[in-house]
Amino acid sequence: MVLVNGVFTDSVKANDRGLMYGDGVFRTLRIEHGAPRHWDRHYRKLNRDCAALGIACPPAALLANELNLAAEESPDCVAKIVVTRGPGERGYFPEPAVDPTRIILTSPIPDHVKHGEIRAHLCKLRLSRQPALAGIKHLNRIENILARMEWRDPGIAEGILLDAEGSVIEGTMSSLFLYREGVLVAPDLSLCGVDGVQRERVLEYACEKNIPVEIKPFGIDFLEQADEVFLVNSVIGLWQVVSLENSSWQKGAFCEALRSRLQ
């Protein structure tokens, strides 16, 4: 099911700047029993990401209404919300008077959400560092695609991405954390990576439970010394990484407790 600017249709104007330049942002979330999960958080993030690109974010009520239309059709699904800068003439300079395009696409909940522990691939592609785009879930995703094309083994659920200098950043479609000696460690995302809603929830959980948190750059050696390594996003919830190239980890209690909380 696809809804474009509130209308059930599967097509978008060919000159949309989302298509011409990847000029837009997106969110992926679960709809459960007809209700979008964590909509407030997702909208706040959408709004922040739009602002970072100078796109006028559509009002929350308008998007919520369209999400509800989608939820009536598909009460349990994955919903993707795309906001682009809208159609435009040729050229990078955006005409300010154009309305952003709103696209909502639903798809079935994938089987892989049932995974608890997963094997991961260490991607050869390195993320570039771009502080002007770091944290934003924008539509420029060729790096993620090239990284995802590195493996075809269905036994590998996700790929771990480092940046150009070797800092561990994230999964191709998920946020990464590690837990070590009682401390939760998250990668610094000031130079690249996506700062997502589930990452925010994990950091809040640690805060509530008085678990010390460190947000800092670290390399693969540090990751290998972790007690638990895990990935989160709004579709999968939490996957514990139990195998990555030559490293392996036991199923862990921190991940188990956190998974129940996120669900």
Return residues touching its own copies (CB under 8 A): 2, 4, 9-23, 26, 28, 53-54, 78, 80, 82, 84, 89-94, 103, 105, 107, 110, 125-126, 128-130, 132-133, 138-149, 164, 172-173
The residue among 79 and 223 lying less far from its own copies, judged by its C-beta, is 79
Residues 85 and 55 sit within 8 Å (Cβ to Cβ): yes
Pairing of strands 101-107, 77-84: antiparallel
The residue among 5 and 247 lying less far from its own copies, judged by its C-beta, is 5
Closest distance to its own copies from the beta carbon of 125 (Å): 6
Coil, strand or helix at 131 = coil
Closest distance to its own copies from the beta carbon of 245 (Å): 20
The residue among 143 and 227 lying less far from its own copies, judged by its C-beta, is 143
The residue among 133 and 184 lying less far from its own copies, judged by its C-beta, is 133
- Angstrom distance (rounded) from CA 86 to CA 197: 25
The residue among 17 and 41 lying less far from its own copies, judged by its C-beta, is 17
The residue among 18 and 58 lying less far from its own copies, judged by its C-beta, is 18
Closest distance to its own copies from the beta carbon of 51 (Å): 13
In order, the DSSP letters of 132-178 are TTTB--BS--HHHHHHHTT---TTEEEEEEEETTS-EEEESSSEEEE
The 3-class secondary structure across 52-93, one letter per residue, is HHCCCCCCHHHHHHHHHHHHHHCCCEEEEEEEECCECCCCCC
Closest distance to its own copies from the beta carbon of 105 (Å): 6
Tokens 């009520």 identify what position?
61
Coil, strand or helix at 237 = strand
Closest distance to its own copies from the beta carbon of 214 (Å): 26
Write phi, then psi, for 250 (nearest 5 degrees): -80, 155
Closest distance to its own copies from the beta carbon of 181 (Å): 34
Closest distance to its own copies from the beta carbon of 161 (Å): 11
The residue among 175 and 184 lying less far from its own copies, judged by its C-beta, is 175
Residues 158 and 115 sit within 8 Å (Cβ to Cβ): no
Give, rounded to a whole angstrom, the gap between the first and last alpha carbons of the chain: 25
